[in-house]
Amino acid sequence: MPTSSEVKILIIGAGPTGLGAAKRIDDLHKQGLTSASYLLLEKMEEPGGLASTDTTPEGFLFDVGGHVIFSHYSYFDQALEQALPKDADWFTHPRVSYVRSHNTWVAYPYQNNIFQLPPEAQVKAINGLVDAYAQSIVVQQKPTNFDEWIIRHMGSGIADMFMRPYNYKVWGIPTPLMQCNWLGERVAAPDLKSVISNLIRKKEAGNWGPNATFKFPAHGGTHGVWKAVVKTLPQDKIKLGTAVTRIDPADKIAYCSDGSEIKYEKCISTMGVDRLVDILPTNSNAKATPETVRNAAKGLVYSTTHVIGIGLRGEACPEVANMCWMYFPEDNTPFYRATVFSNYSSNLCPQKGTKLKTLRQADGNNTHYTEAREGPYWSLMLEVCESAHKPVNRSTMVEEAIQGCVNTGLIKASDDIVSTYHRNFDHGYPTPTLNRDSCIAVVLPYLQKNLDIWSRGRFGAWKYEVANQDHSFMQGVEAVDNILYGTPELTVNNPDWVNSHTNNERNFKT
């Protein structure tokens, strides 16, 4: 017979959103403010979700994407400080980020540092900015898509040299097919006077955005953060290696991969909302999901992210030795972003005395060395997008990425590669297509109002603008408060407000 249990709140998924929900309930338990029971289910054997970290056989750590810690919320800060309370648990870094364009490095944001481009490219950029400024005086209506937003704010020069090709490499979809409501703090709109001033003075403009300074855990990669958060929770409330395969919303029962059945009153689901709708019933005897909801869920678009890691012997080349991450809009490399991952923490690579064999040199030569040799070691983490609009060859991807590193000056052809890593994540980016808002406006309210399911998180709510780790964590926290107290959920419903305020204080019952 299958085992069964009953809880007030069932939480599906132990990524940042699910852990935020569990953390909030546990905090309320400790303060005597609720007795609501809960259970956190996770299909993987470890928590973390898309905020996880893998280790290669040679001992290099790679996150499942470019994650760093920065925050808009005091509650999030406090949770992480409780999990990792020592100064030695963290490194704090200023963002050092550049764009590889026209065979040179242009400081991020690209649109504010065009003086670092060759003269011909500078002229093209300035002409486009002047045209955009002139047009903005007479055009009053809002842009209808991301491409119009780019032209309106940056002009055709920067659009063609950076914004269009880069965003296609990131999202795997042409910019005219994307909306622009998601932008907020994600994209810096240039000020023409500042751009010209920086151009004349050859002054680098930086420190834009919420991650101008960021934190990173000293040990374990990003996964180390969420493993530490899990340790602050009661372990009997967490069930790993257990996927929810079917939900009966009429009787409010979740059927699990291990044969167990969980009866709940309310559910916070962090799985992709497209997947969630798929496991809801279709027959009329079990609260069938309307076709309008199913069609809306099918209308949501995502891209797959491939993470490629390269472990190298020696020291990073001087040009990139102090960089954090870099952007690559041009077609001389398949990846859109590269991170000098070893710069985040010395513990992400094998220590200097470790002896490793050379797998190959970057140019493919593997005949030079047969014996293992000592380091030091460093690492690069690369990200490649795959989508219906942007297919890739998975069998040649690692080789193409290594060649791209040589093409763009990240590594030399003679550099020793001692470890490689490749993993793809089917749901990598929730794409803000033109119809995204209309789709989630159908799906999310239906699930909450009719089925008592709060679909939240990066792919649960499908809002990239509030899909960072702090946002995702707080979506879980705020879902709990909404369930227990009716408190408004600010993050999922008011992204622009949330992103315009730092260290927001929530009206928590504490």
How many Cα atoms within 13 Å fall on the side-chain side of residue 42? 21
CB of 19 closer than 8 Å to CB of 230 = yes
Residues in CB range of 131: below 8 A, 6 or more apart:
155, 156
Q: Residues 84-140: pLDDT tens digits?
A: 999 999 998 888 899 999 999 999 888 889 999 999 999 999 999 999 888 877 777
| Per-residue confidence (pLDDT) for residue 270, from 0 to 100 | 98
Measure the CA–CA gap between 366 and 279, rounded to whole angstroms: 49
Q: Cis peptide before 109, with omega less than 30 degrees from 0? A: yes
Q: Is the pLDDT of residue 39 over 90?
A: yes
**Beta-carbon count within 10 A of 44 CB:** 15
Q: Categorize the per-residue pLDDT at 353 as very low, low, confident or very high, splitting at 50, 70 and 90.
A: confident
Q: Categorize the per-residue pLDDT at 184 as very low, low, confident or very high, splitting at 50, 70 and 90.
A: low
Q: Which is more confidently placed, 370 or 310?
A: 310
| Per-residue confidence (pLDDT) for residue 1, from 0 to 100 | 43
| Per-residue confidence (pLDDT) for residue 204, from 0 to 100 | 83
Over residues 187-200, mean pLDDT: 78
Place of tokens 């764009």: 99
| Per-residue confidence (pLDDT) for residue 187, from 0 to 100 | 65
CB of 244 closer than 8 Å to CB of 14 = no
Q: Categorize the per-residue pLDDT at 507 as very low, low, confident or very high, splitting at 50, 70 and 90.
A: very low
**Beta-carbon count within 10 A of 482 CB:** 19
**DSSP code string of 135-179:** HHHH--SPPSSHHHHHHHHHHHHHIIIIIHHHHHHHHSS-GGGB-
Q: Is the pLDDT of residue 222 over 60?
A: yes
User: Which domains does the chain carry?
Assistant: 4-51+70-90+223-301+433-499 (3.50.50.60), 110-201 (no CATH), 302-430 (no CATH)
Token pair for 23? 């953390």
Residues in CB range of 227: below 8 A, 6 or more apart:
46, 47, 48, 220
Q: Residues 259-306: pLDDT tens digits?
A: 999 999 999 999 999 999 999 998 766 678 999 999 999 999 999 999
Q: Residues 471-500: pLDDT tens digits?
A: 999 999 999 999 999 999 999 999 888 887
In degrees and rounded to multiples of 5, residue 421 shows phi and psi of -145, 140
| Per-residue confidence (pLDDT) for residue 430, from 0 to 100 | 96
Place of tokens 């050859």: 202
Q: Residues 158-176: pLDDT tens digits?
A: 999 999 999 999 999 999 9
Residue 174, Cβ density class (10 Å: 0-12 exposed, 13-18 middle, ≥19 buried): middle
Measure the CA–CA gap between 122 and 10, rounded to whole angstroms: 55
Q: Categorize the per-residue pLDDT at 365 as very low, low, confident or very high, splitting at 50, 70 and 90.
A: confident
Measure the CA–CA gap between 264 and 284, rounded to whole angstroms: 21
- Mean pLDDT of the residues in the chain: 91
